Amino acid sequence: MSQTKIGVLISGGGTNLQSIIDNINEGNINGSIELIISNRENAYGLERGKKAGIESIYINPKDYENEESFNRRLIDEFKKRDIDLIVLAGYLKILSKEFINKYSGRIMNIHPSLIPSFCGKNYYGIRVHEAVLEYGCKITGATVHFVDENTDTGPIIIQEAVKVAEDDTPDTLQKKVLKVEHRILVEAIKLYCDNRLTIDGRIVRTK
């Protein structure tokens, strides 16, 4: 089976990206990262990519007149490299409809809660864990899902729960959830690269 060509979009430190890189290097994923793009110049994920010998570029959204033209540039970069799968690894911008239509069923996102709880507009980063604690939840977790035209509403691939301790802070909870994120994102990518995922309406089935 030929390797899946992967493109990764990031906005920050890239710990999920590093997990993907490590698992590809260890032979756990039948794929290769062909391109990493960040919308933030100082995102450390770019350095992670460069250290791994992966083409890693910064594209400034402010250089484009609108979101559509910025997203069109992203599409062009991925098309040039025949990318099969797009992974959003801490990418904090909304993709355009054109982008999502172009790569329908081929874009994955990781979210630090059990969707449909604590997701959607304004729920990202530490804010998710603050909200979980404010609500008094006993369980939270992480979700990998395919991306559709709305925020965090695409078909769910994998979820895993994390217990909330009484003495958890947003920071400690974030660290616990991040460990799960690393594991299930890699698993979802592995399943995709092994051609084991099918989408049936809202249901993602594993062969």
What letter represents residue 13's amino acid?
G
**Which of 27, 68, 15 has its CA nearest to residue 185?**
15
- Tell me if residue 51 falls in helix, strand or coil: helix
Distance CA 105, CA 85 (A): 9
Q: Which residues pair with 140 in a beta bridge?
A: 162
DSSP secondary structure of 166-196: TT--HHHHHHHHHHHHHHHHHHHHHHHHTT-
Query: 19, 202 in Cβ contact below 8 A?
Result: no
The encoded tokens of residue 72 equal 């069109």
* Peptide bond connecting 116 to the previous residue in cis, omega within 30 degrees of 0: yes
Choosing from 111, 129, 145, 182, the catalytic residue is 111
Catalytic residue status for 111:
yes
Query: 42, 36 in Cβ contact below 8 A?
Result: no
The encoded tokens of residue 6 equal 């992967």
Distance CA 2, CA 78 (A): 18
Catalytic residue IDs: 111
